[in-house]
Structure 1
Amino acid sequence: MRMRYAMVCSSNQNRSMEAHSVLRREGFDVASYGTGNNVKLPGPSLREPNVYDFGTPYRQMFDDLRRKDPELYKRNGILPMLKRNYSVKTAPQRWQDNASDGVFDVVMTFEEKVFDMVLEDLHTREQSLMKPVLVINLEVKDNHEEAATGAQLALDLCREIEAVEFWEDSIDDIISSFEKQNRRKLLYSVCFY
């Protein structure tokens, strides 16, 4: 059975988009989202981030940063990240604003505060379908190298979930095995649509 996956991170779209790209390349039905109020990308200093509204096309962000300081944004990996992003989808989407995108079987987050936000959002929605959704947090540091590692781990975990007939019956064993094999602690919870 093919399942539907959502990758969710904070506002910069690096970890969720890397996982989205890797899973999509492997044939998974996947979407990606951010949870902040806007998209924040590193700027010339910590106090000067580049801020964009959700829905701003990745190509527009790419062109804007290339115009501002192409060497800085190439060196810090933001231009290559945006190039990857616009090859995957047109623009970033905010999780809380896209409830109408459909129902997911698995929602994967990459930091605990985002996990908590997704759980809160799912708990406040009307639960009319009584269809379970598995929410998993795989903690991944927000840098390009860790995002690549996290995306591969997300792919491995999704393959394990995909391999069983009913994830509800096997999830405890899948999580336990994954944690032992990868030495990473996962948080997970079941919500309903």
Structure 2
Amino acid sequence: MAVNNKNPTSDLRIAVICSSNMNRSMEAHAFLAKKGFSVKSYGTGDKVKIPGCAADKPNVYDFGVSYDEIYHDLLAKDKTLYTQNGLLHTLDRNRRIKSHPEKFQECSEKFDILITCEERVYDQVLEFMENKTPSDNSIVHVINIDIQDNLEEATIGAFLISDMCVMLAKSEDLDNDIDEVLHDFEERCDRPILHSIVFN
């Protein structure tokens, strides 16, 4: 089946942001890229934290350590555990999309839409955007949809984010229409949506 990449989406610059740029933002990144969107993904945390051998023993890495390095580190630590919990599969997908987790607060790129996957990340993004000096005062829409940090929810969340972006992309005047579009989407997905405007 041919993939239809003809899309009204190519001029929307989108970033999807979670805490570690490992699961939720990467799943949505993969979905949106397949639909032809111009998309990047980021994390806002101090470190990249992923599940370890116990709840109180996460694996912790610096942003910039490659997905490939993390993959091989987990492979060496406990191949069976990290195969069963899906982390090796997740990392394999991630390294096909880009080389390493990226921290949002260190990025200088400009976006039209920033989509966060939990309220704490939303707050961190707003704080960062509001404290930096705007360069051209172009409008940026920051939208939050809460997605639990597990593999199943990340997939559901990626579908929802993808649907929302398709709806946003259809608007001919996004700044004017966005509240109405998000209201319609919120009713459809039955999850609360947060929305703020900041400036580039």
Alignment TM-score, normalising by the size of structure 2: 0.93
Query: Match for residue 34 of structure 1?
Result: 43
Query: Match for residue 117 of structure 1?
Result: 124
Query: Match for residue 63 of structure 2?
Result: 54
Q: Separation in 2 of the partners of 1:179 and 1:35? A: 24
Query: Match for residue 183 of structure 2?
Result: 176
| SS of equivalent residue, structure 2 residue 126 | helix
Query: Match for residue 185 of structure 1?
Result: 192
Contact in 1 for aligned 2:20/2:101 (Cα 8 Å): no
Query: Match for residue 162 of structure 1?
Result: 169
Structure 1 unmatched runs, 5+: none
Shift of 1:57: 0.7
Contact in 2 for aligned 1:12/1:41 (Cα 8 Å): no
Q: Separation in 2 of the partners of 1:73 and 1:62? A: 9
Shift of 1:97: 1.2
Decide which moves more: 10-19 or 25-34: 10-19
**Matched residue pairs, number?**
191
Identity of aligned residues (%): 44
Q: Separation in 2 of the partners of 1:29 and 1:91? A: 18
Shift of 1:128: 2.6
Q: Separation in 2 of the partners of 1:128 and 1:48? A: 41
The residue type paired with residue 188 of structure 1 is: H
Superposed structure 1 runs of 4+ greater than 4 Å apart: none
1:82 and 2:101 are equivalent in the alignment: no
Contact in 1 for aligned 2:67/2:99 (Cα 8 Å): yes
Contact in 2 for aligned 1:8/1:33 (Cα 8 Å): yes
Of the candidates 2, 11, 15, which is equivalent to residue 20 of structure 2?
11
| SS of equivalent residue, structure 2 residue 155 | helix
Q: Separation in 2 of the partners of 1:72 and 1:30? A: 31
Q: Separation in 2 of the partners of 1:190 and 1:41? A: 31
Structure 2 unmatched runs, 5+: 1-7
Query: Match for residue 145 of structure 1?
Result: 152
Contact in 1 for aligned 2:65/2:100 (Cα 8 Å): yes
Query: Match for residue 128 of structure 1?
Result: 135
Q: Separation in 2 of the partners of 1:49 and 1:127? A: 36
Q: Separation in 2 of the partners of 1:90 and 1:45? A: 27
Contact in 2 for aligned 1:6/1:30 (Cα 8 Å): yes
Contact in 2 for aligned 1:40/1:49 (Cα 8 Å): yes
CA offsets, 1:55-86, max 9 Å, x none?
01101100110111000001011100100100
Contact in 1 for aligned 2:13/2:39 (Cα 8 Å): yes
CA offsets, 1:136-189, max 9 Å, x none?
001001110000000010001011111111111101110110011111110000
Shift of 1:127: 1.4
Q: 1:83 to 1:63 in 2, by over 3 A?
A: same
